[in-house]
Amino acid sequence: MSEKISRTRTVALVGHGGGGKTSLAEAMLFNAKAIDRLGKVDEGTAALDFEPEEIKRQGSISASFGHYAHNKYNVHLVDTPGDDNFLSDAAAALRAVDGVVMVGDAIDGVKVQGEKVWQFVNQADLPALFVINKMDRERADFDKAVDMIPGMLGIKAVRLQLPMGAAESFSGVVDLLAGKAYTFAADGSGKMTVEEVPADMAEEVAAARETLIEDIAEADDTLMERYLEGEELTADDLAAGLAKGVRERLFVPVAACAALKNMGVQPIMDLINRLLPSPLDRGAVAGLEGSREPSAEAPFSGLVFKTVADPFAGRLSMIRVFSGKLTTDMQLLNVNRDTKERFGQLYAQNGKNQKNVNEALPGDIVAIPKLKETTTGDTLTAVGEPIQYATIEPLPAVISYAIEAKEKGDEEKVFAGINKLLEEDPTLHLGRDPQTNEALLSGMGSVHIETTLERLRRKFGVEVKLKTPKVPYRETIKGSCRVQGRYKKQTGGRGQFGDTWLEISPAEPGEGYVFLDEIVGGSIPRQYIPAVEKGIGEALLGGVLAGYPMVDVKVRLVDGSYHAVDSSEMAFKVAGSLGFKKGAVQCKPTLLEPIMLLTVTVPDDAMGDVMGDISSRRGRVLGMDSKGSLQVIKAQVPMAEVLTYQVDLVSMTGGRGAFTMEMDHYEEVPGDVKAKIVEAYEKAKEQGN
C-alpha cells in the first residue's frame, strides 16, 4: 500500500483566468487516455468545463476534477477557476492537494489574479511547478514571462526548459538537464519526437544549463560544496537537488507548452511525477488536536472540501483522504456535527463522468453521494477514531445586490433554491438588512451573482430581479433642546393623558440611544417611565429628515405630569414619542453615511486612474504600498459611491485590479448630497412609496 501511496500525486492547476489551466488539464487527461478526445474550452467541448454557465462564458466557474495514470503514477487533478469572481473555489481546493502547477502565459506572464492565487499557495505551504502556456500565440515571450515571476510571486524562477521558437514557429522544448530536444506534432495528438539540441541553440542551451546547475546546487549545501570544488554533478545528484529545491519551496522550476495544441504537455506530466510530493513526502497531516500519518493502516480521516450538486447523483461530497482506507461498506463519523453517515458508493470523477471505485487511500480525491448531514469543511473519520481538521473559510463577499422574486408567489421557491446553491458555493451569502428590510445576495463579484441567478433559473425554474441595495443611512442630531411631549385625548369616557418634558442632546459617536430617568418628586409615577423610554425608542426608528433610524442621541426625562384616572402606559408612550419627534427637528438633525475601508491592488500603470477615481467618489486615500509590480492603495470611501465598484474597477484596469472592502465607520453626509437624499425621500412620500 505504501508503494501505491508513494506513487500518488494530488495536484491543483492554479493561475489567472484565461491562462489555459483547463486546456492543460484536458491535454494531460487525453495523453493518459483518461478521456478519448481533446476538448476545447472555446468550443464548449472541454470535459472539465461542462456546466452550461461555463460553456457560455468559455471559462471555469468552479473547481472540477480528473484523474489519470502516467508511467505507473496515479495523478488526481483539481482544475481551479482563475477569475476573481470564483477564486474562493481555488483557495478551498488547495486544502486538498499536495502540490500545484501554476499556469501563466507567454503573453501576459502573471496577472493580478495569479498573484492572489499564489498568496493562497503560500498560506498552504505547497510546492509548485510553473508552466508558461500559449507559446504558440502571437507576441509569445518566454523570457519576459519568466522574468515576471520573482517580482510578482516573490520566489526564484528556475528554467528547466527552453522553448524552440515562439508563436507560429513554436515546435517544442529543450530539456536542459537531459540535453535533449522534444518536438511535437501540431495536430493535438501529443506525439513527441526526441532529437538532439538544434545547432543554432547549442550555445544558449549550454549557458542556460550551467545556470540551472548552479541554481540546483544552491538548494543543497553538500551539492554546493562539491560544485564549488569543481566536481561534476551526476544526473542523480541534479535530480535529487531539483526535487529538494521544489519541495522545500526554494524555487519554482519553469516549463513551456502550448496546451491547446497538446505541445509540451507530456514533459510536464513527467515533471509532476518526479518533482511534486506524494502524501508520504508531505508527512503527517495536522488536525486541530493531534495529527494523522498518511498510511493505509492508520484510522480513516478525510476533509470534505467541496460540495457539488449533481443532476443525476444528487449532492456529491468531494473528499480528500488524509489517512486510512475509505471503503463503501464503512460507517463514518462527521466530527463537526457529531453525527454518523452511511453511503453505498464512491466515485472517481473525470469532469461530469463518474466511475465507481471500491476504495480510496491517502492522497485520493473521491466523491461520496447523498450524505445527509455533511457540508463543505466537515471532517469525516472512522467511528471511534475522531480527529478534526480546520474548516474551510470562504473568502469575504465584495458585492451585494437586493433581490426579489420576479413573479409574485415565487418567493419561497427563490429562497429555497438559493439555499440549495449555498450548499455548493459557500462564498454566496443570503441575508436581510435589518434597517432596509431588503433581502441581500452577496458574492465575489457581479459575474458571480449573475452566474448564480442563471443556475437558479436552470435548476429550479425561478427568476429574480436584482437591484442596487439601499444605503443604510442613519440620522443624528448636532444640537440640544428642551421640549414638551404632551398627549391628551378625551372620548367621553376615560381619556388618555401623558405629559413629559425632555432634554435632547447628542450622545458620543457609537453610543446609540441613551435614556436617562431624572424624574424627582414623583411628577411621573415610576410605572410609566419605561413606557416613555419605549415610545422614544420607537420614534428613533424613523428619523425626521429622511426616515432613517436615528443614532447617538441622549434623552433626559426631567419633568412631566399625570392624571390619576386618565394616565396610562400607552398615553406616556405616545407622549414620549411626540415630544422626541418635535424636539429632534429643533436639534439640528443631520444625515450620517457608512464609510468603507477600501484596499485596492492595481498594476503601476493603473494607479493614477484608480486614485483619481477614488477622489471622484468622495474618497480619501490613506496610504500606498508597493508589492512587486503592484500598488496597494488604502482609502476611505462612502458606501453610496462604491456599490458597483467591482464592475467599475474591472473596466478601469482591464480586469487586472482587485479589492477588498469592509465597513469602517459612519460620518456626516455633505450638505449637497444630504439635500438630494431628503428631496428623494419627500418625493417618494408624496407618491405614496
Location of C-alpha cell 453505498: 344
pLDDT for 502 equals 97
Please tell me the pTM assigned to this model.
Answer: 0.78
Helix (H, G, I), strand (E, B) or coil at 498: strand
- Under DSSP, the state recorded for 443 is E
Q: For residues 181 and 187, is the Cβ–Cβ distance under 8 A?
A: no
- Under DSSP, the state recorded for 277 is P
Return the amino acid letter for 281: D
From edge to edge, which strands make up the β-sheet containing 314-323? 339-342, 331-334, 379-382, 301-310, 314-323, 365-369, 347-350, 353-356
Closest CA to 430 of 416, 413, 418: 418
Beta-carbon count within 10 A of 337 CB = 13
pLDDT at residue 311 is higher than 60: no
**Distance between start and end Cα atoms, the chain:** 70
Rg (CA), the chain: 32
Distant-in-sequence, close-in-space partners of 532: CB < 8 Å, separation ≥ 6:
498, 500, 524, 557, 572, 573, 575, 576
Instruction: Label residue 264 exposed, middle or buried (CB < 10 Å: 0-12, 13-18, 19+).
Output: buried
pLDDT for 398 equals 72
- pLDDT one-digit tens code per residue, 97-113: 999 999 999 998 888 77
Distance CA 647, CA 632 (A): 19
Paired sense of beta strands 496-506 and 553-561, if any? antiparallel
* Highest mean pLDDT pick, 39-43, 292-296, 430-434, 625-629: 292-296
pLDDT for 646 equals 78
- pLDDT one-digit tens code per residue, 599-627: 998 888 889 999 999 999 999 999 999 87
Q: Spell out the domains of the chain, with CATH numbers in brackets.
A: 2-282 (3.40.50.300), 285-382 (2.40.30.10), 399-467 (3.30.70.870), 475-587 (3.30.230.10), 593-673 (3.30.70.240)
Our CA dihedral for 638, 639, 642, 644, rounded to 10 degrees, sits at -160
Q: Helix 21-31 vs helix 265-275: angle between axes, to the nearest 10 degrees?
A: 90
Distance CA 157, CA 130 (A): 8
Cα atoms in the Cβ-side hemisphere of radius 13 Å centred on 402: 13
Closest CA to 7 of 62, 69, 66: 69
